[in-house]
Chains A and B, each alone.
Chain A
């Protein structure tokens, strides 16, 4: 049986549809790109010279064994014996001998490319060799070797850690060899398992999954890699090849916890365990069938087409006042939801929406039916939280019978018939999430700690990971975000502390024009790959923690928020996002394995793009969607964080992202817009009716949720701090109860780290996503409605986030202080005159 490589599977490729009929990007979201792309992204183009070193190492090594340097001609026994000898050599003290053996193994993992002609052959050989390598324990040995290399390199450099910008490609040669071998093994096993063509690989996958979920040498591999990232960011190990570290981290996490399909299965499994229904809708499946809306043109676009460049800003001011948005879109005909086009009048839109909503069948009737097959229906079934039902009953009861019944969701006595009907509909759409059950259990345990039994905590891979990273979780999050910030295309290269380019830039900067073009592409590609790996990892962790235990998720997300993840992502999107998703930072001829197979042609400006016919960049689409999903995960149902979206003026940034014609990406943008619509003010709604219609037709409805027009009582601006603190208390109680030791370690480590987080936040702030003066702040008068002005609000939100950490720090007073407390009081407090009026003066100033 000849295993089918992923390239044979019929993936929709660009150009398969005529451009005119469907301009949608046919990007298909999945756990990772095709195998060959994932492998070629491991190497930067500047590493190419090193491929030859691998063959050389292999040939030298074979010479010492008196064998011809031809792997294919060796018998299986011979191959085994050679790998054993190479493994033996990995323990040798002399670095060059040790690394020669490591390079040999890398060459084998690369599929012995010097002996073959085609890339299919190369892939097949890789797969065969990986099987053998894994079975003989190469992976574990390389993890040990990685340990050795991390530690020994730090010993050497303790005396003089090089400045980040002085480090170049040559400082990480050995580490890159080791990480490459680990990565190739991981990715090959993962994709072969997904392809499901080979039973042997399924067995290997299962063994491997167990292996990576058990600590090597007292440390999980994921923890080791996260630790490497932290050390890289702290500047103590600037030579770590960060791209390879992050790629390996992402793939190992993906393999140990599982991707989308296992997430779905796990969620269903957990829901069933808690007596909840299985999921009826799969977000990924539904969005695949959605079509994108045509993008709302921004004012700037229209202007650009009208009068290029000249007088741009002046014209902009004039135009924002006129509602010329009508010309923009053809949304109705796109979605098929509103058949007769109606010039985009708000009222008509609403009528259509309600009519469609009423005919929605009840969930029982459409058990096995994909909701979106029928174009006249909304893609999602509406959901109702218990809280919504409670609210509805409370309001109706106090209105009609004059008093409320707490905790009674059944009695309808005294309520009129229409309320009964409304109640029925709400009840039919009630959705209890896994989180609700977990929170309730947690409350129960807190109330009756002795009588409530949680039972054994199942040691799932997510649970193992959480326990392992808990002591240092805040630092890990900060480190990942720092790298993400440094890799964002919008970031200026002023961040001195880390240099993510150290594993692309060679020692000598090239002189020829061709070489510098090549290097430029390489650098951009490198950054994009880092963003892809970080965003993939963060999203994967959030999703797994969320179903494993909601408070694990909340803990991680709170730390992401404290480390300023929200402004960071917004800043990321504050670029020309259509350019980003269609960027072509690839030189197909230089991708592995093309760069080593067959006759090598010289790179010219003609063949630079030869072979690249994709209309979009897979990895950039993937990163964008990941980042949007992360943002959604962090913000959903959190008022304080929604307000961050508002104060950071995310609306115009998000609107620009809607230009990318991909349904899934648009859905996540629309969700983010939906959350904040009611705070954006009448003016914004008036000029963005098309966007609001798109939200109606694409995003799930929450019955009774007046998201667009409601005046929310909950949104009192000064409650934010309280909200984050309440959440924090719950999370801490959970952590303290389940993981007392790890939590203690985490808190003590945090005291030293908080400062850094805040500083990093300042970096982000000063990089101003707020004051973008390129004339695109469409949402000019965002309606925070209160005095402070946007800058102050931003500060406030940030501070309340960070204060949350300070509140928990226990201050130990010295005995000396306790004994002489009164003296201190006299001297420092009573004895010093305080002019309270100054405070009022200071406070008054920013308002005026």
Chain B
């Protein structure tokens, strides 16, 4: 908010806002964001401007706590992944994809249950996203969004591993949906870049082909 020039910008989608005007407010520099949610706001702003500038989006501003930065990004990934989940619901059914698989013969267990089970792929997707959301919103592990304990940051790794399987399943089993989604959002691209940059997963496990190097040059990207 800026009071100096007399006008106040309210960065909020009021009820009745048209789709084309959604989230259309001017950018604000990070230093001037006066809120506990500044990092999230900043990240969303970068994505809104150009989702293809993956490296730019993931460049950590100076003076930013790395734990918070990783946490907010992962939060954002999970939020956007819901979009992929919604699209998947139209093609991925428990009757067709009975198990969570990618290329290999491995079937993954759905960790959201007291006794981990072999859920169908779409259920795995939903459960994992729900589980991630409840972990990331948990008051116990993440009581603050301004500073995050080292021991909680350690929890992000396992979320990444599980969430990534949604991408790989979509890529290998529902390629059309994946491509559509990826062209719009560059989400898998950004995720791959994210886990590589912060060493949250092994490169060999990132089985969806991505050309990170190509993306590392700003402005040049193709899904």
Residues of chain A at the chain B interface (Cβ within 8 Å):
65, 80-85, 87-89, 91-94, 97, 135-137, 140-141, 144, 147-148, 151-152, 155, 203, 207-208, 210-211, 214-215
Given A81-B204, A82-B202, A88-B205, are A93 and B158 neighbors across the interface (CB < 8 Å)? no
Q: How far is the CA of A85 from the CA of B99 in the complex (A)?
A: 20
Contact of B141 among A80, A81, A88, A214 (CB under 8 A): A214
Question: Which A residues are CB-close (under 8 A) to B108?
Answer: 91-93
Could you show 23 A-B contacts with beta carbons less than 8 Å apart? A80-B199, A81-B204, A82-B202, A83-B202, A84-B161, A84-B202, A84-B205, A88-B205, A91-B161, A91-B162, A92-B106, A94-B106, A136-B157, A137-B154, A140-B154, A147-B114, A151-B114, A151-B115, A207-B154, A210-B149, A210-B151, A214-B141, A215-B140
Of all A-B residue pairs in the complex, the 3 with the closest CB atoms, nearest first, are: A84-B202, A81-B202, A151-B115
Contact B162 A155 (CB under 8 A): no
Given A81-B203, A97-B106, are A148 and B154 neighbors across the interface (CB < 8 Å)? no
Contact A93 B109 (CB under 8 A): yes
CB distance from A837 to the nearest CB of B (A): 61
CB distance from A752 to the nearest CB of B (A): 23
Interface residues on B, range: 20 to 34
Question: Which A residues are CB-close (under 8 A) to B106?
Answer: 89, 92-94, 97
Question: Which B residues are CB-close (under 8 A) to A135?
Answer: 154
Q: How far is the CA of A135 from the CA of B156 in the complex (A)?
A: 12
Q: How far is the CA of A144 from the CA of B201 in the complex (A)?
A: 18
- Whether B155 sits at the interface, judged by CB under 8 Å, is yes
Question: Which A residues are CB-close (under 8 A) to B201?
Answer: 84, 88
Residue of A nearest to B101 (CB): A93
Contact B161 A211 (CB under 8 A): no
Interface string of B94-123 (1 = CB under 8 A from A): 000001000000111101001110100000
Other than the given A84-B161, A84-B200, A93-B106, 10 more pairs (CB < 8 A) read A81-B204, A137-B158, A140-B158, A152-B116, A155-B115, A207-B150, A208-B151, A211-B154, A214-B151, A215-B140
Question: Which B residues are CB-close (under 8 A) to A94?
Answer: 106-107
Interface centre among B111, B141, B200, B202 (most CB of A within 10 A): B202
Q: How far is the CA of A214 from the CA of B200 in the complex (A)?
A: 22
Contact B154 A87 (CB under 8 A): no
How many A-B pairs have beta carbons closer than 8 Å: the answer is 80
Residues of chain B at the chain A interface (Cβ within 8 Å):
99, 106-109, 111, 114-116, 118, 140-141, 149-151, 154-155, 157-158, 161-162, 199-205
Question: What secondary structure prevails in chain B residues at the interface with A?
Answer: loop
Q: How far is the CA of A136 from the CA of B201 in the complex (A)?
A: 10
CB distance from B145 to the nearest CB of A (A): 18
Q: How far is the CA of A211 from the CA of B183 in the complex (A)?
A: 40
Q: How far is the CA of A208 from the CA of B202 in the complex (A)?
A: 24
Q: How far is the CA of A215 from the CA of B109 in the complex (A)?
A: 22
Contact of B202 among A80, A137, A155 (CB under 8 A): A80
Contact A140 B155 (CB under 8 A): yes
Q: How far is the CA of A136 from the CA of B154 in the complex (A)?
A: 7
Residue of A nearest to B162 (CB): A91
Given A84-B202, A140-B154, A207-B150, are A92 and B115 neighbors across the interface (CB < 8 Å)? no
Given A81-B204, A91-B161, are A152 and B115 neighbors across the interface (CB < 8 Å)? yes
Question: Which A residues are CB-close (under 8 A) to B155?
Answer: 137, 140
Contact B111 A144 (CB under 8 A): yes
CB distance from B126 to the nearest CB of A (A): 17
Residue of B nearest to A214 (CB): B140
Question: Which A residues are CB-close (under 8 A) to B99?
Answer: 93
Q: How far is the CA of A135 from the CA of B151 in the complex (A)?
A: 9
Given A91-B161, A92-B108, A137-B157, are A85 and B151 neighbors across the interface (CB < 8 Å)? no
Residue of B nearest to A213 (CB): B151
Residue of B nearest to A135 (CB): B154
CB distance from B213 to the nearest CB of A (A): 17
Q: How far is the CA of A93 from the CA of B199 in the complex (A)?
A: 25
Contact A87 B114 (CB under 8 A): no
Residue of A nearest to B141 (CB): A214
Question: Which B residues are CB-close (under 8 A) to A214?
Answer: 140-141, 151
Residue of A nearest to B156 (CB): A137
CB distance from B104 to the nearest CB of A (A): 9
Contact A85 B202 (CB under 8 A): yes
CB distance from B112 to the nearest CB of A (A): 10
Q: How far is the CA of A211 from the CA of B99 in the complex (A)?
A: 33
Contact A207 B115 (CB under 8 A): no
Question: Which A residues are CB-close (under 8 A) to B161?
Answer: 84, 87-88, 91
Question: Which B residues are CB-close (under 8 A) to A97?
Answer: 106
Given A87-B161, A208-B151, A211-B151, are A92 and B204 neighbors across the interface (CB < 8 Å)? no
